Amino acid sequence: MLLLFTGDNAVRDTFQLAEEVAHFGLWQVDLATGAMTCSSNMLRLVGLSSRAPRADGEAMRFSTLEQVTHPDDMPVIAEIQHIIADGLPFDRNFRVIHPNGRVRHLSIHGEVVVDASGRKTRAIGVLVDVTLHAETMRASQVDSERVRAIMTAIDGRLWTARSDGFRTDLLLRSANSRSVPGTWLGFNWLTRVHPDDVARARTAWAEAPHHVRSFTLDLRVLGEDDSYHWRRHYCSPIVNDDGSVREWVGLSLLINQEQSAVQAEPGILTAAQIRAARGILNWSVKDLADRTGISTGALRRIEAHEGFNRGAAPALLLIKDALSAGGVDFFVLPSGEAGVFPTRKENRLKIVAENARPKKVSI
């Protein structure tokens, strides 16, 4: 055994130093008498170092800890006594209140020792002051709650990934999210990206290892409402001292409103415009769903809404782009009346010809 001191008390002084520096103390309970023996640092940690011995000479017992235990943690001390009686090991945390009013967080470990015949003789253990750890964990919890509150407000997701875009962990997401985390891990996240944006996403991550710098990526991602929403992905590498990339960390934010403000606001469509445009193009609801990535159910709900539906602006942007690419255009008169017309000359002539064709009259 390594002794840090010399003299007759070398062992005691070395052990006492270790206890004080590491903030721990030792204890044991004689199961035959119930008497509890503690090291001096153990008594100091629980706030009993100044406890005056009783006049009747009664020994300290495990239940003596109830005198200093925080009221909310009294059940823990009672539980430990039951565990000792059953001869089982235990690890528990509880708080004590010192005579000066200070609260300390303690962690206690114990187990029962038996003799050669298997009879339980003693309970022994270690008590450690974990106040600093508890404070650190509490501060970390507060920070995590703050970040989670922000993520919920902005519908954000925080994740880590390999250099090839393989997502390794979903660190934080909106508290309102109901999706299974596994759907966003690995390469599964690409299955939720709009088909027209997948190639762009793959290209960005294929180039990432060569540039080793932060980049942003705007993608349409399938949401929990079965509709695609614009999300901006901020991706940044965490670099080791030797310049190699340890991992990537990313933040995904919903930017539907930004997209709407930049592109969609002047062209918000009415349900009547969408139905008329489909009629001109001879598209079914399924045809439009295939071209936009929006479910047929969502499209029917949009078409059932009368007037301008600004709440569905992100979806309307996708619908407008698909219908415009198909060959129609939209307008809104200063009076507020909305309309649609075919952009292709042959479609206009066809419509005019159909309207000009004399109607057959049956006699």
For 134-168, write each residue's pLDDT tens digit: 988 888 888 878 877 777 777 788 889 999 999 99
Domains of the chain, first to last: 10-129 (3.30.450.20), 140-254 (3.30.450.20), 260-355 (1.10.260.40)
Q: Are 176 and 152 in contact (CB under 8 A)?
A: yes
Q: What is the pLDDT of residue 212?
A: 84
| Confidence bin at 108 (pLDDT 50/70/90) | very high
Q: What percent of the chain has pLDDT over 70?
A: 83
Q: What is the pLDDT of residue 312?
A: 79
Q: What is the pLDDT of residue 262?
A: 36
* Integer-rounded Cα radius of gyration of the chain: 36
| Confidence bin at 190 (pLDDT 50/70/90) | very high
Sign of the Cα torsion 46, 47, 50, 52 reads negative
Name 191's Cβ contacts closer than 8 Å, sequence gap at least 6. 183
As a whole number of angstroms, the distance between CA 353 and CA 166 comes to 56
Q: What is the pLDDT of residue 102?
A: 92
Q: What is the pLDDT of residue 346?
A: 54
pTM: 0.49
- Alpha-carbon distances of 111 from 35, 79, 90, 129, 231, rounded to whole Å: 16, 14, 6, 19, 54
The SS3 of residue 114 is strand
Q: What is the pLDDT of residue 333?
A: 59
Q: What is the pLDDT of residue 270?
A: 82
The SS3 of residue 343 is coil
In order, the DSSP letters of 253-319 are EE-HHHHIIIIIGGGPPBHHHHHHHHHHHT--HHHHHHHH---HHHHHHHHHS-SB-GGGHHHHHHH
Sign of the Cα torsion 43, 47, 53, 59 reads negative
Q: What is the pLDDT of residue 269?
A: 80
Mean pLDDT over each residue of the chain, to the nearest integer: 82
Backbone angles phi, psi at 43, to 5 degrees: -65, -40
Judged against a pLDDT cut of 80, whether residue 15 lies above it is answered with no
Backbone angles phi, psi at 20, to 5 degrees: -70, -40
- What's the rounded mean pLDDT across residues 271-275? 88
Number of CB atoms found within 10 A of residue 302's CB: 21
Q: What is the pLDDT of residue 141?
A: 84
SS3 content of the chain, % helix, strand, coil (to 5): 45, 25, 30
- What's the rounded mean pLDDT across residues 16-23? 82
As a whole number of angstroms, the distance between CA 7 and CA 11 comes to 9
Which element (helix H / strand E) includes 125? strand 120-129
Q: What is the pLDDT of residue 198?
A: 92
